[in-house]
Amino acid sequence: MKPVVVMADMVTPYGRGTEACWQGLLNGKTALARVTRFKTAAFHSDYAGIINGLRYHEGASLVMQMMELLFEGVVIPEDAKLLLATTKGEIDLLEQSMLEHRGDAADAIVTRLIRKVAGLTRTKDAGIVISAACTSSAAAAAQAAAMIRNGNADCVLVAACDSITEFIFSGFSSLMALDSEPARPFDKHRAGLNVGEAAVYALLMSEERAARENRPVLGTMAGWGLSDDANHMTGPSRESEGLILAISKALASAGAGPGEVEFISAHGTGTQYNDQMEMRAFRAVFKDATRPVYSIKGGIGHTMGAAGLVEMIIAFRALRERIVPPTVNLKEPDADAVGWVSNQQQAVREQAFALVTNAGFSGVNTALVLA
């Protein structure tokens, strides 16, 4: 059975809704700003992609506040299988318990979070948590598509969320991975990433069920591939073999050749090593035949476990609107990215495939082929 996406939405630093994120990116406007949620003087940066209006260490966790916004007024089929993607879930509840001696540290366990999400969405499935570093939601989307293609399900809800807390911020700062200015993916002068927060969902169905229920189709999950280069706990392999393998698997899964890919939504964190690794992989797979590459992380930051699903939905929008969004904050492309990345919108031809790539700690890589 063919897996198609019939509903999707997001809450990002641009605001509530896919439209807010899409328009922010098209306008080349960054949502990265200075953090006021907690003190940042001890860290390497004070920039992040924050969702305004969330309460920190007060009442519900940050991710549950985002999830409540995300699913407000949304009706999900109660028989949908549930996949939840996150790296740290309700980590602010653990902070609260450890630092302020309020609440139970066990409340931060992700199995408790998935029960909350199931209750919020009124799905009957117990659900599965997928936590694969910064590829979590892309891996979850691939898992959902595989469940449908293999006939194990005809309706799967993929939800993803991660928030910015002092714990998260200090972790990336300790790795010296943060840019002290808004992140500049693929730029010659890039100096690191900015973290961001988001909640996002996609409802996948078999093409047959979508037609039976007269569901509008946002796009098709044509192929997917996962790999791990097993290079380092946090650093990608300089040879890019893991991402090359994931892309090759995704293209084979889609029955597509490299020439059929019209554009690439890259992981594009803004770190030296990630962006180099990705460009090396793209050049190897596409044989230096340039096509538009962009990253949305200069707009909303690196939303960690939610990143892949946000990027997948934006790529579907790009296919539908036939516009490749610009890479926000890009000023001077790095030498190996010249001719590939741009800070201007570009046109997309009809009947094209899009490629979405993600990479994460431990060397995990995902690639999704969309139509």
Q: How far is CA 300 from CA 35, 56, 80, 340, in A?
A: 13, 19, 29, 21
Do residues 314 and 22 lie in contact, with contact meaning Cβ atoms separated by under 8 Å?
A: yes
Name the domain count of the chain: 2
Integer Cα distance of 86 and 135 in angstroms: 9
Residue 162 shares a structural domain with residue 269: no
- What domain range is 266 assigned to? 220-370
Residue 16 shares a structural domain with residue 150: yes
Q: Is the pLDDT of residue 28 over 80?
A: yes
Residue 144 shares a structural domain with residue 269: no
The helix (H) or strand (E) run that includes residue 121 is helix 110-121
Do residues 50 and 33 lie in contact, with contact meaning Cβ atoms separated by under 8 Å?
A: yes
For residue 356, what are the contacts with CB-CB under 8 A and spacing of at least 6? 138, 264, 265, 308, 311, 312, 315, 367, 368, 370
- What's the pLDDT score for residue 19? 98
β-strand partners of 323: 347
- What's the pLDDT score for residue 240? 86
Mean pLDDT of the chain: 95
Residue 164 shares a structural domain with residue 193: yes
* Residue ranges with strand state E in the chain: 3-12, 15-16, 33-34, 47-48, 81-85, 128-130, 155-162, 198-206, 219-228, 261-265, 293-294, 323-324, 346-347, 353-360, 364-370
Residue 280 shares a structural domain with residue 314: yes
Catalytic residues: 134, 267, 302
Q: How far is CA 53 from CA 62, 69, 73, 198, in A?
A: 10, 11, 19, 13
Do residues 253 and 3 lie in contact, with contact meaning Cβ atoms separated by under 8 Å?
A: no
Residue 31 shares a structural domain with residue 110: yes
Give SS3 for 317: helix
Mean pLDDT of 281-291: 93
- Look up residue 105 and give its two tokens: 């540290």
Residue 201 shares a structural domain with residue 284: no
Q: Is the pLDDT of residue 266 over 80?
A: yes
- What's the pLDDT score for residue 124? 96
Q: How far is CA 273 from CA 20, 192, 237, 293, in A?
A: 30, 9, 9, 17
Q: 226: pLDDT confidence band, cut at 50, 70 and 90?
A: very high
- Look up residue 145 and give its two tokens: 């598509």
Q: Is the pLDDT of residue 233 over 80?
A: no
Conformation bin of residue 16: beta by default, left when phi > 0, alpha when psi is -120 to 50: beta
Q: Is the pLDDT of residue 195 over 90?
A: yes
Residue 233 shares a structural domain with residue 362: yes
Last residue of a domain, one of 161, 188, 212: 212
Give SS3 for 222: strand
Give the strand pairing for 3-12 and 219-228: antiparallel
- What's the pLDDT score for residue 167? 95
Q: What one-letter code names the amino acid at 19?
A: E
Residue 200 shares a structural domain with residue 254: no
Last residue of a domain, one of 166, 188, 212: 212
- Determine the distance from the C-alpha atom of residue 95 to the mean position of all C-alpha atoms in its chain, rounded to a whole number: 24
Do residues 198 and 24 lie in contact, with contact meaning Cβ atoms separated by under 8 Å?
A: no
Last residue of a domain, one of 175, 196, 212: 212
Q: What one-letter code names the amino acid at 15?
A: G
Report which of 222, 248, 237 is spatially closest to residue 316, judged by C-alpha positions.
222
The helix (H) or strand (E) run that includes residue 7 is strand 3-12
Percent of residues, the chain, with pLDDT higher than 70: 100
- What's the pLDDT score for residue 342? 97
Residue 232 shares a structural domain with residue 201: no
β-strand partners of 318: none
- What's the pLDDT score for residue 348? 86
The helix (H) or strand (E) run that includes residue 50 is none
Which range among 63-72, 173-182, 216-225, 229-238 shows the weakest confidence by mean pLDDT? Answer: 229-238
Residue 298 shares a structural domain with residue 355: yes
Q: 231: pLDDT confidence band, cut at 50, 70 and 90?
A: confident
- What's the pLDDT score for residue 198? 98
Q: How far is CA 36 from CA 19, 180, 199, 235, in A?
A: 26, 15, 20, 29
* Residue ranges with strand state E in 68-210: 81-85, 128-130, 155-162, 198-206
Q: Residue 271's domain is classified under what CATH number?
A: 3.40.47.10
Residue 228 shares a structural domain with residue 199: no
Give SS3 for 358: strand
